[in-house]
Amino acid sequence: MFEKVLIANRGEIALRIHRACREMGIKTVAVHSTADTHAMNVRLADETVCIGPPPARDSYLNVAAILSAATITGADAIHPGLGFLAENADFAAAVEEHGFVFIGPAPEHIRLMGDKIAAKAAAARLGIPTVPGSSTVRDLAAAEPAADAIGYPILIKAAAGGGGRGMKIARSRAELAQMLPLAQREAEAFFGHGEVYLERFLERPRHIEVQILGDGQGGVVHLGERDCSLQRTHQKVIEETPSPALGPDERDRIGALAVGAMRELGYRSAGTLEFLYQDREFFFIEMNTRLQVEHPISEMVSGVDIVREQLRIADGAALGYRQAEIRLSGHAIECRINAESPDDFRPSPGRVTDYHAPGGLGVRVDSALYQGYVVPPFYDSLISKLVIHGRSRSECLMRLRRALEEYVIGGIETTIPLHQRLVDARAFIDGDYDIHWLERFVGRNR
């Protein structure tokens, strides 16, 4: 096993990876910007290297600085975490070219799944159903006949997109003419090129994803599905597993489909296949070739440490177990807690004056916060993940309400009050929601 791993990320996910490494007897190197000098993962790491000023492009996206840090500290491997460079195929290739192990998928799989059009084509070849859509459209002359063939409403999506960026809805030809250039400009601004494509817009789907692990040697398992339908502006807010919308047959069907496809692909490391689900049909939308923010709920119901498995697989180990040996137990829910106003979602960076995390049976808090820590204004506003496990969904909900009541984060605004409203909403209690429900709920409660 590796002796030393450099963690090329920050915040709670960097701390999560550090903990997994230390439990395996692996030393860690924390790279950080000047804004994160006092971050918890930096305080706990065996070695630290400052790689630049606060802007991500000058620090956490600075490939040369990260590789230099790995060289001077004698690291064996680099874990990219999530976000930043985690799905950058060129970075993964550069890590391997410089003699380090990249703890993640093969660069060619990252590159394949990073292009949404190529990913859909690959999924179709692997027997996975996809949302009806087009290839890249460069102008309105190409977009109009493609949209007519697919049928309105149409979703315009960035080919290299993610997180809802470069995504617009058009319900008619007139709206297509208006929204297409907006989506192209947004795609150019966020992803470096303005290529977009079209998909059929499903009116009331669920967002269902399947967590898989592959060892690149033919061993592939899934850890069940996650329901990520509670979203605001295409950003996930609450996730749960298993989905209250699926029955056992559907669960087995989508799990087997994901495993079979990833085995044929020869996939290595953790990955997530994402689907829209409506009228008992699954439609592939994308694959994330990295650790997911919501991975803890899969760990809670399966008992599998996904980060530990990433490390083992990267070191050349086979999974060592089969799908039949994976036992999914109980129900788990994750609340993403952001440093934002719970009413209008304005960012709320600043000093944490009070901090008390909830505890007790079935309660897990993945956070790098502590009293006196200053939440910087330069990065994503996610500051904590409250993860609850129970024997049943109802027990999980009761435990979640109690944990939210206990959670104290003072000095900054957080979205804890929003989560408290959500867990008391009848539609959420009943599991009767889709990917558009939260936007309607927030609009009604302003």
The catalytic residue positions are: 290
Relative orientation angle of helices 306-314 and 295-302, to the nearest 10 degrees:
100
Pick from 258, 288, 284: which is nearest to 109 by CA? Answer: 288
Q: Is 252 in contact with 282 (CB distance < 8 Å)? A: no
Distances (CA, A) of 437 to 72, 185, 260, 434, 442: 50, 28, 32, 5, 9
Distance CA 12, CA 19 (A): 11
Tokens matching residue 354: 């009070």
Phi, psi values for residue 232, rounded to 5°: -125, 125
* Identity of the amino acid at 54: P
User: How far is 420 from 251, CA to CA, in rounded Å?
Assistant: 29
Contacts of 391 (CB under 8 A, 6+ apart): 329, 330, 331
Amino acid identity at 120: K
**408-410 vs 350-351, strand pairing mode:** unpaired
Give 189: exposed, middle or buried? Use CB within 10 Å, 0-12, 13-18, 19+: exposed
Report how far residue 434's alpha carbon sits from residue 229's, in angstroms, rounded to the nearest whole number: 5
Degrees to nearest 5, angle at CA 387 with 382 and 390: 165
Looking at the chain, the number of H-run helices and the number of E-run strands are 15, 21
The number of beta carbons lying within 10 Å of the beta carbon of residue 320 is 10
**Type of residue at 302:** S
Whole-angstrom Cα distance, residue 3 to residue 445?
52
